[in-house]
Structure 1
């Protein structure tokens, strides 16, 4: 297996994600990109999810089940595979939102690690975010997270 195969590996074929799992998977992959999930990153995930209509019918146990599944993929296959599995199942109308959410989460702890930069670049590619749009989103999120 080559270096790029390891970076862009995908989660197991039997792991198909719902729309809700896919969005949360991108957020979780971003938060776990550097090997740990800071409290500020976790809070960012929770805050985004609470505002999205696709989670309106989710209860506590449903969220537990969703995150259990995603944490298993993250632990077993890594953040890059979780990104690929999530991006494959995410609808077009949620792709920019997921990208913005991921960038916001990466910036939440005030430090952008190299692994987080790699995931942001991967996300822009697999979600089809145009470079100009990606740069604009990143600039806005940097401003948002300065305070």
Structure 2
């Protein structure tokens, strides 16, 4: 078992994520990358999710259940494992959107911690986002979050 295998442990089979859980998992992993979730990061997650069509049929109890599952993975296995589980459950057509959401959340509190930078790199690689596309998304999100 390599160093990264120890850090980014596989999520157990019973914790496999649906499309909706996977998208939210990417966002939550980013918010929790530095060990705490700032209010601005949580607000960013909620804002993104409430606007996406994939959550149109989600009730408040459904959101509670979704986040309970994701917080359990984040708490027990860490952000890297949550990213890996999320990548497996995320469709190709939502990968750029999830990455942009994650970068936006990382920048929402005005500080980009080293752990967040590392997780952005891991996400770009795991989501198979071309380097130039990832750079463009990051640049746009930096501009967006300046105000």
TM above 0.5, yes or no, is yes
- What is the CA-CA distance between 1:11 and the residue it aligns to? 1.7
- Stretches of structure 1 lacking an aligned partner (at least 5 in a row): none
Alpha-carbon distance between aligned partners in 2 of 1:6 and 1:102, rounded to the nearest angstrom: 23
Residue in 2 that maps onto 1:44: 44
Deviations 1:59-116 (A, max 9, x none): 0000000000000000000000000000011000100000000000000000111110
- What is the CA-CA distance between 1:10 and the residue it aligns to? 2.2
SS of 1:14 mapped into structure 2? helix
Alpha-carbon distance between aligned partners in 1 of 2:106 and 2:7, rounded to the nearest angstrom: 18
Alpha-carbon distance between aligned partners in 2 of 1:14 and 1:61, rounded to the nearest angstrom: 20
- State the TM-score, normalized to the length of structure 2: 0.97
SS of 2:14 mapped into structure 1? coil
Runs of 4 or more consecutive aligned structure 1 residues displaced over 6 Å after TM superposition: none
Alpha-carbon distance between aligned partners in 1 of 2:6 and 2:130, rounded to the nearest angstrom: 25
Residue in 2 that maps onto 1:92: 92
Residue in 2 that maps onto 1:103: 103
Alpha-carbon distance between aligned partners in 2 of 1:127 and 1:2, rounded to the nearest angstrom: 21
- What is the CA-CA distance between 1:6 and the residue it aligns to? 2.5
- State the TM-score, normalized to the length of structure 1: 0.97
Q: What root-mean-square deviation, in Å, do the aligned CA atoms of Structure 1 and Structure 2 show?
A: 0.9
Deviations 1:103-137 (A, max 9, x none): 00000000111110111001001101000000000
* Alpha carbons 1:22, 1:85 under 8 Å: kept: yes
- What is the CA-CA distance between 1:5 and the residue it aligns to? 1.8
Alpha-carbon distance between aligned partners in 1 of 2:7 and 2:120, rounded to the nearest angstrom: 13
- What is the CA-CA distance between 1:41 and the residue it aligns to? 0.1
